[in-house]
Structure 1
Amino acid sequence: MTALADDLENTSDVLDADPTAVQTEAPSPDPAAYLRGYHATAAVRGVAEMTKGAGYVARRALRQSLSPGRNTRDAQRWWRHVLTRRRPQWHNEHEIVFETPIARLRDFSQGSTDDVVPALVLPPQAGHDSCIVDFQPRQSQMMVIREAGLTRAFTLDWVGATRETSGTTIEDYIAVVDRAVEHAGGRVNLIGDCQGGWLATIYAAIHPEKVNTLTLAGAPIDFHAGETPIGASSRVFTQRFGQLPYRAMVAAGGGNMPGSFVLGGFIAIRPDAEIAKHVDLLRNLDDPVAIGRYEAFEDWFKHTQDVPGTFYLWLVEHLFAGNELIHGDLVVGGERVDMRRISCPLFLLGGATDHITPPIQVFAAADHVSTPADQVTTRTAPGGHLGLFMGNQALRHEWPPLLAAVAEHSRP
Structure 2
Amino acid sequence: MREPTKSGPSERPASGLEDFLAWPLAAVTQIAQANLRLLESLMPPARQSASPDSSFPWTSANTIALELATMRLRDFSIGADGPATLICAPYALHGATIADFAPGHSVVETLCQSGLSRVFVTDWRPATPETRYLTIDSYLADLNVAVDELGPPVDLVGLCQGGWLALVYAARFPKKVRRLVLVGAPVDIAAAESQLSRFVAGTPSSMFEEFVRSGEGIVHGGRMLEMWGIAHGPGEAEATLQTPDDIDSARRRELSERFRRWYVETVELPGSFYLQVVQWIFRENRIAEGRFVALGQRIDLAKLEIPMFLLAASHDEVVSVDQLFAVARLVGTPAGHLVKMIEPCVHLGLFLGAKVLDGPWRIIARWLVRDLSEPQTSL
* TM-score using structure 1 length: 0.74
Please state if 1:322 is matched with 2:290: no
Which residue in the other structure is 2:93 paired with? 127
How do residues 187-206 of structure 1 correspond to structure 2 at under 5 angstroms? Answer: 187-206=153-172
Q: Is the 8 A contact 1:95 1:106 kept in 2?
A: yes
Q: Which has the larger radius of gyration?
A: 1
Which of 210, 223, 239 is matched with 1:248 structurally? 210
SS in 2 for 1:389: helix
Partner of 2:12: 15
Instruction: Report the equivalent of 1:152.
Output: 118
In the aligned structure 2, how far is the partner of 1:398 from the partner of 1:222? 23
2:225 matches 1:263: yes
Q: How far did 1:373 drift?
A: 0.7
Alignment CA distance shift 1:295-1:233 (3 Å): same
The corresponding residue for 1:217 is 183
Match of 2:155, SS state, is strand
- C-alpha separation in 1, matches of 2:83 and 2:107: 17
Q: CA deviation at 1:360?
A: 1.1
- Partners of 2:348 and 2:202 in 1: how far apart? 25
Q: Is 1:163–1:256's contact at 8 Å kept on the other side of the alignment?
A: yes
Deviations 1:253-293, CA, capped at 9 Å, x for gaps: 2201221354357635xx6x559659x9xxxxx94323211
Counterpart code for 1:193: L
Q: Which moved more, 1:204-213 or 1:244-253?
A: 244-253
1:220-261 C-alpha deviation (Å, 9 max, x unpaired) = 011223222221111112xxx3x2111111112220122135
2:50 aligns to what? none
Unmatched 5+ stretches in structure 1: 1-10, 18-34, 51-77, 281-285
Equivalent pair of 1:16/1:385 in contact (CA under 8 Å): no
- Say which SS state the counterpart of residue 297 (structure 1) adopts: helix
State the 1:209 CA deviation.
0.3
**Structure in which a larger fraction of residues adopt helix:** 1
Q: How high is the sequence identity, in percent, across the aligned residues?
A: 33
Distance 1:267 1:100 in 2: 31
d(CA) in 2 for partners of 1:353, 1:319? 21
Pair 1:356-2:318 in alignment = yes
Instruction: Please say if 1:88 is aligned against 2:49.
Output: no
Q: Aligned partners of 1:132 and 1:14: how far apart in 2?
A: 20
Query: What is the SS of the residue equivalent to 1:212?
Result: strand
Rate the CA distance shift 1:133–1:410 in 2: closer, same or farther, 3 A: farther
Alpha-carbon contact 1:257-1:307 (below 8 Å) kept: yes
Selected match of 2:346 from 373, 384, 390: 384
Give the drift of 1:147. 2.1
2:89 and 2:122 in contact (8 A); partners too: yes
2:293 maps to a residue whose letter is V
Taking the aligned partners of 2:111 and 2:11, their CA distance within structure 1 comes to 24
What value does the CA root-mean-square deviation take over the aligned residues?
A: 3.0
Change (3 A) 1:342 1:13: farther
Distance 1:85 1:248, change over 3 A: closer
In the alignment, what sits opposite 1:336? 298
- Quote the residue 2:5 is aligned against: none
Partner letter of residue 318 of structure 1? W
* Structure 1 residue 302 corresponds to structure 2 residue 270: no
Change (3 A) 1:247 1:293: same
**Where does structure 2 lack aligned partners over 5 or more consecutive residues?**
1-7, 15-24, 48-54, 240-247, 374-379
Structure 2 residue 80 is matched with structure 1 residue 113? yes
Letter of the aligned partner of 2:43 in structure 1?
Answer: V
Change (3 A) 1:276 1:402: closer
- Whether 1:176 and 2:142 are equivalent positions in the alignment is yes
SS of the residue aligned with 1:383? coil
Aligned to 2:243: none
Partner of 1:23: none
The structural deviation recorded for 1:98 is 1.3
Report the count of equivalent residues: 333
Distance 1:266 1:212 in 2: 39
TM-score by length of 2: 0.80
Q: Distance in 2 between matches of 1:160 and 1:102?
A: 8
1:282-310: CA deviations, max 9, x gaps?
A: xxxx9432321121101111111111111
